[in-house]
Structure 1
Amino acid sequence: MTAPTRFPGIEGSCDMEAVDLKDRSTPSSVLPRGPGVVWFGISGFVNSTGTGFFHPFALLFFTELSGESLRSVGLVLTVTALAVLPGLFAVGRLVDRLGPRFVLTAAAALRAVAFAGFISLRGLVPLVVCGLLLALGDRAELAARPLMAIRLAPEGQRSQWLALTRVVFNAGIGAGALFASLFVVDTGSGFVILGAINAASFVLAALLYLGIPASKTTEAAFIRPISSPRAAPWRHVAYLRVAGANSLLLTAAFAMETALPVFILRELAMPPWIVGALFAVNTVLLALLQLPMSRVLDRFRPPLVLALGGMSYVALYVAALLAGGVPQGAQIALMVGGMALYTLGELAVSQASLVMLTSLPPHGEQGAYLAFNQLFAGGAAAIAPLLVTAFLADWPAGLWWALAGVSVVAAILSLSRREEPRVSKEGRSHEPLGSA
């Protein structure tokens, strides 16, 4: 599938006739270019480092500092994560009217306030209130970050800038988790220090976002008049297909991350270091290959890339199923090989989904669409733990069969072909969104 591919709503990024294939082989063609690229990368890295620093110790952090039970903390986290989802419609409007830089800055500030509250206030009510602020900040940041990338990217560079968002995110998460594992002390005072560092990291990220240089394609050029029609992403069938397929694969990814350590230690009786090694393989490959793979994947149609990437997840599920009846050396080889193929699929899925989710929306309404997509992502994050616990309790091997089925359904959904709305040079659809 190397024929010229044009995808509605994104000029240049998927037009393979406009790309010099010779230029693909040069290192400079892999790296994103343009004003603000370094500043954008640094701000994203600082932001994700704060998230990674906190993530491995989240449950211990909340239970220790709130004084609530683990069961209560888990319930609060689930409820707050779901409760903020309706508010994402307003977040989308803010992104379109005030720009993604404003929303990124506000999201970082919200999370800084949340962590300040976690370390200074105890009890259930502060946990709920600060949990809502944290969940809203997290979802708002995920909605605004890819839009900031495509608005900063010069012509023909959107794919690389979208890949850059994933590179700095994965690198920051990995670095933050590593630093936390080395320096965090499992005591009340230790978690207070963790929370204070996290709050400071988000304050720094907010300041860095403010320093990102404006360009003709950033804020003012995209802000829609208040009187302009509202977007209706729930009527855009093509967008719903992509968001649905992506949310299924997100559910599978969240479930894998949650279930794999338990399955390896309890069902396969493998040593604990295997868990760390597998996730190290995942992190290193994500950091090293995201940018070069983004250029390779530009040669193919995004729906095909999404479908094949999701099907690559099945390699890890098959490895987990086969590893139960073989010697430990073969177990390790199976799991490492399965994780490597899974990670290549993850690279493909993240790139193709970002390209489509940012290119299908009409001009000036990307924020509303990306915020709408976070409803799907939030649902995936909420469903995954329930799916994992249900299967691990009664039929551990059945989880991998179920996740394989999820990948197949996502592939079918992403490859479903229906007429896309025609998009003018200004990015406005000539047909009703519901006609897609």
Structure 2
Amino acid sequence: MAPSESAAETPTQVLPRGPGVLRFAVAGFCNALSTGFFYPFSLLFYVSLSGEELRTVGTVLTVTALAALPSLLLVGRIVDRVGPRPVLVASLVVRAGCFVSFVTFGGAAALAVGTLALAVSTRAEQTATPLVALQLAPEGQSSRWLALSRVVFNAGMGVGALIAGIFIVDSASGFALLGIANAVGILCTAALYAVVPRTPRPAHSAARLRIKARPWRDHKFLLIAVVNALLLVSALAVESGMPVYVLQELAMPTWTVGMLFAVNTGVLTALQLPVSRVLDRHPPVRVLAFGGLTYLSLYAALLAAARTDGTVRMLLLVLGMVVYTLGELAVTQAALVLLTGLPPDSRKGAYLGFNQIFVGASTAVAPLLVTYSLAGNPPVLWWSLAGVSVVSTAVLLGTERRFGRGASEGVAGDTP
């Protein structure tokens, strides 16, 4: 919003407004709950039900994730032609069917087919979801709806992981129950999204729809997509690498990892909406740049922790995690605003589908970076990620003047 808007807002004013906001929030929470329920046990789930070895499962997951990426350009064009909600509902139904197939069929071939379909449907869902939020959001409310999607995602993931840790039994029958429960939760999500209020689709002429979307020629969007992918690699590396570093290199107790991630989830869930209101008053490119720069706090804390011990070490890690999480909040919010605001209205689906190629590549690169670094020289991981943050910030601030304020509300013209 404009800087002249009063900074003093009640909790009710911070919440997004508009028809269907509650149903949209419940659908997003239900989806994240299912994902959080499954995510901590995903590798064990695939190994147990496919009957394959861990290395085979890991190879299949990597190959199918990469194989799904070229299809995302087509997915984006479909979103532009039929609208984001039908694609979102269809992708959820396909995702639910994948989990039923995992429970029903074993073997490497069935695993490969199922994980390929799962990868495509997951990326399609991530392409369509923010566009559904933009369609539902009243004028001036876009960033609040995008922030709401992040709040319910973080809350649902945390609650789902907690429930799974209590109820899931490490056995074939337990993992079968996990798959069926996840499928049911995803179908419930599809039903909830299907009944959110319908919004009129923008009228695009047939001539306009025949124009081929070429987001890779839009230099501003391409820059944001690349920077977002680099910062996503950093976030994924922290998620998977920090527990190993804290337990093995720093020799800290197991509960330390849980506490640090609890701090991360708590800050994201509690502050996403109010902080997003503050961030709206600043150019999103600058917010993205400085958000990425704050990642340095956690890297510095992890490096410094190796030279301290006791209470000082714990305080360093907690403080580093708090500042890092505020930066993560800024990065996710600003990136969503830019990635949905820069594309022309008639080609948002194609642009976001193209962005999912970078997202998918990040998820494939991060595990390799983490495993090779931690197996060799662990501090190199944090120095490498620090370099990513510094370079990303410098590039963004150096090109900031190329970006207008128009993207800050998720609205763009109809030309690149």
- Shorter-chain TM-score range: over 0.9
Secondary structure, counterpart of 1:177 in structure 2: helix
Q: 1:340 aligns with which of 322, 333, 344?
A: 322
Q: 1:53 aligns with which of 31, 37, 43?
A: 37
Q: In the TM superposition, what is the alpha-carbon distance from 1:118 to its structure 2 partner?
A: 0.4
Q: Indicate yes or no: 2:344 matched with 1:362.
A: yes
Question: Hey, what does 2:123 align to over in structure 1?
Answer: 139
Question: Hey, what does 1:403 align to over in structure 2?
Answer: 385
Aligned-partner Cα distance in 1 for 2:403–2:214: 15
Question: Hey, what does 2:64 align to over in structure 1?
Answer: 80
Name stretches of at least 5 consecutive residues in structure 2 with no aligned partner.
none
Q: Indicate yes or no: 2:14 matched with 1:33.
A: no
Q: In the TM superposition, what is the alpha-carbon distance from 1:29 to its structure 2 partner?
A: 2.4
Write out per-residue CA displacement over residues 186-235 of structure 1, whole angstroms, 9 at most, x where no aligned residue. Answer: 0110000000000111111111111111123xxx3266647431221000
The one-letter amino acid paired with 1:157 is Q
1:13-412 → structure 2 map (5 Å cutoff) = 16=2, 21-22=5-6, 25-216=9-200, 220-221=201-202, 225=206, 227-412=209-394
Q: In the TM superposition, what is the alpha-carbon distance from 1:134 to its structure 2 partner?
A: 1.1
Aligned-partner Cα distance in 1 for 2:234–2:70: 23
Aligned-partner Cα distance in 2 for 1:157–1:421: 18
Asked if the contact 1:24–1:295 (Cα under 8 Å) also holds between the matched residues in 2, the reply is no
Secondary structure, counterpart of 2:257 in structure 1: helix
Aligned-partner Cα distance in 2 for 1:116–1:307: 42
Aligned-partner Cα distance in 1 for 2:355–2:244: 30
User: Structure 1 stretch 313-322 or stretch 405-414: which is displaced more?
Assistant: 405-414
Asked if the contact 1:224–1:364 (Cα under 8 Å) also holds between the matched residues in 2, the reply is no
Aligned-partner Cα distance in 2 for 1:222–1:370: 20
Asked if the contact 1:24–1:30 (Cα under 8 Å) also holds between the matched residues in 2, the reply is no
User: Structure 1 stretch 221-230 or stretch 198-207: which is displaced more?
Assistant: 221-230
Percent identity over the alignment is 52
**What TM-score, normalized by structure 2, do the two folds share?**
0.95
Aligned-partner Cα distance in 1 for 2:321–2:111: 36
Q: In the TM superposition, what is the alpha-carbon distance from 1:150 to its structure 2 partner?
A: 1.1
Q: Identify the structure with the greater helix proportion.
A: 2
Aligned-partner Cα distance in 1 for 2:402–2:34: 43
Q: How many residues of Structure 1 are paired with residues of Structure 2 in the alignment?
A: 411
The one-letter amino acid paired with 1:192 is A
**What TM-score, normalized by structure 1, do the two folds share?**
0.91
Aligned-partner Cα distance in 1 for 2:105–2:244: 33
Question: Hey, what does 1:3 align to over in structure 2?
Answer: none
Name stretches of at least 5 consecutive residues in structure 1 with no aligned partner.
1-14
Aligned-partner Cα distance in 1 for 2:291–2:105: 44
Question: Hey, what does 2:413 align to over in structure 1?
Answer: 427
Write out per-residue CA displacement over residues 86-112 of structure 1, whole angstroms, 9 at most, x where no aligned residue. Answer: 000111011111111111101111110
| Change in 2 beyond 3 A, CA 1:292/1:224 | farther
| Change in 2 beyond 3 A, CA 1:223/1:69 | farther
